[in-house]
Amino acid sequence: MSILIDQTTRVLVQGITGREGGAQTKLCIEYGTKVVAGVTPGRGGEEFEGLPVYNTVQEAAREQKPDCSLIFVPAPFAADAMLEAADADIPLVICITEGVPTLDMVKVKRTLRGGGTRLIGPNCPGVITPGECRVGIMPGSVFSMGSVGVISRSGTLVYESVAQLTSRGIGQSTCVGVGGDPIIGTSQREALELFDNDPATAAVVLIGEIGGNAEQEAAEYVSGMRKPVVAFIAGATAPPGRRMGHAGAIIAGDTGTAKAKKDALAAAGAIISESPAEIGSTTEQVLKDAGLV
């Protein structure tokens, strides 16, 4: 089993004829992802890699019945793309787009609240269930099948931590890049709950960073989890008040510091990795201590 996506997931790509959308769609197909169609307004009736292209998500959803929409749409239009997918009742929407205006995401978040669509992102690397399905931009070669779930605000640190796990023979159940913006669809806490309820996931690696209080909210859930959690917080040396990489990685008050986040997670029972280079070894030790390897 896995969370969010598996080998049966039917994927629709919004922005499939764009440079990035097209290139990543090809890589998803090569990985084994079941991409069923694409959407580019004005290009309906064309084909991309043998897949039908539609003008609207409604039309594509009606004819192809996708379970997931992958969005590669420029930032000014990304919010409309997310809402169009939700309006078509697609259960899972993964938005890769970086630079989506915060006010646009306020509208999207409010509209999706209480509905049947789960959003991952924006400004994220996507989701991958190793050996089954890749929906996003993650490099499939570093992932391996197994039982450790990975959640991260940072795409780069997903790849780094997974490479360490794979090199130690520790495979992953699913890896979720939740995104680094101030307002995102699915929080770290919500992703933790999905993994906690997944029978195929034995432990979770949580990678956070400075800014906001998402890690503290995640810590509240960690305190009641049945599975061990290894956590790393990036940005410990970042100067207060300066944006570091992600739009959400800016400290505003004590709650946004790396120390505050690590303290909250440690108090909740998570095992803290003090260095990104130690995520793999820390996870291996935790699994050994729990009798899981």
- Examine residue 54 and state whether it is found in any structural domain, yes or no: yes
Whether 129 is in a domain gets the answer no
Spell out the residues 6+ positions from residue 150 whose beta carbon is closer than 8 angstroms to its own.
158, 161, 162, 165, 172, 174, 175, 176, 204, 205, 207
Tell whether 45 and 167 lie within a shared domain.
Answer: no
| Domain shared by 167 and 247, yes or no | yes
Q: Name the nearest CA neighbour of 176 among 152, 143, 201.
A: 152
Looking up residue 108, the CATH number of its domain turns out to be 3.40.50.720
Token output for 270 = 């998570």
State the pTM of this model.
0.94
71 and 169: one domain? no
Rounded Cα distance, 254 and 75, in Å:
31
Q: Whose CA is closest to 28, among 174, 127, 155? A: 127
Which residues are annotated as catalytic?
246
In a structure prediction context, what are the per-residue pLDDT tens digits for the chain, which is 293 residues long? 589 999 999 999 999 999 999 999 999 999 999 999 999 999 999 999 999 999 999 999 999 999 999 999 999 999 999 999 999 999 999 999 999 999 999 999 999 999 999 999 999 999 999 999 999 999 999 999 999 999 999 888 999 999 999 999 999 999 999 999 999 999 999 999 999 999 999 999 999 998 889 999 999 999 999 999 999 999 765 555 555 555 554 555 566 888 999 999 999 999 999 999 999 999 999 999 999 88
Looking at the structure, tell me whether residues 275 and 170 fall in a common domain: yes
Q: Does 268 map to a domain?
A: yes
Note down the domain range covering 42: 10-120
Tell me the residue type at 192: L
Q: Is 42 helix (H, G, I), strand (E, B) or coil?
A: coil
